Amino acid sequence: MKDVISEARGHNKPLFLMSVLFLGACFCAVVVLGKDWLEFSPMEAVHVVVPPNIEHEQNYGNPVPTPSANVAFSVARTDPLGPFPNDTTMQWNFMYANAGGAFDMDTGVFTAPVGGTYYFSWNGQKRSNTNDMALYLEINGAGQAGIYEDNWNGGGGIFTPTLNPGNAQSDMVVHLYPGDRVHLRLNDEAYPYSTSFGKYTGFTGFLLFSDA
């Protein structure tokens, strides 16, 4: 009887070994496939979707220019100034804004912090029976443009100033380099009128776009 059982076991040994090898191969396949599935699983991979640059596309591929500095100022007088016997730099005693800090209230001078295209506007009022009003914009000491108001009567060929208010205003667009200095020149004997309420005489400027 023992011989029969031993013989039966001997005949089944190759089949048993093949079964073991087959199960081992299946286990390895599961491990390998499982590893690949984990590596490429959408739950493990994080995909960041970057939204399109709409401004870039609308500008047909050209970079969108941005100013390298925010520059803007606006100042005024709260009382009349002058007259003086000689030309002098207009002085200001009220500030609306000074973005970028490029306007110096102590000197009345704006210094361009960056090269670019700037806009300037200035206005004044004449209200004197003896003096006119004249303010000229200067860049690095060179006159560019000005405003003038005398408001004189000319009846009978005799010209006499009046107390009636007369206003003048001008503006300009100009290119400046870094360090260029801009101010208003008050002409000799000129008398710009202003009040704390009306602020009839003022000076404004800001950067339109920089060179960068």
* pLDDT in 10s for each residue of the chain, 212 residues: 445 444 545 555 555 555 555 555 555 544 444 544 444 445 454 454 544 444 333 333 444 444 456 899 999 999 999 889 999 999 999 999 999 999 999 999 999 999 999 999 999 998 887 788 899 999 999 999 999 887 666 555 555 666 678 899 999 999 999 999 999 999 998 989 999 999 999 999 999 999 97
Q: Are residues 102 and 192 in the same domain?
A: yes
Looking up tokens 């009040």 gives 195
Q: What is the CATH number of the domain that holds 183?
A: 2.60.120.40
Specify if 67 maps to a domain: no
Q: What is the domain count for the chain?
A: 2
Specify whether 40 is located in the same domain as 97.
no
Pair 27, 78 in one domain: no
Buried b or exposed e, range 46-62, using 16+ CB within 10 angstroms = eeeeeeeeeeeeeeeee
Determine the structural domain holding residue 21 and report its residue range: 1-60
pTM flag (> 0.85): no
- Report the residue count for the chain: 212
In a domain, 4, yes or no: yes
Same domain, 56 and 76: no
* Residues whose CB is less than 8 angstroms from the CB of residue 70 and which lie 6 or more positions away in sequence, other chains included: 99, 100, 207
**Does residue 77 share a domain with residue 52?**
no
Looking at the fold, whether 199 and 128 belong to one and the same domain comes out as: yes
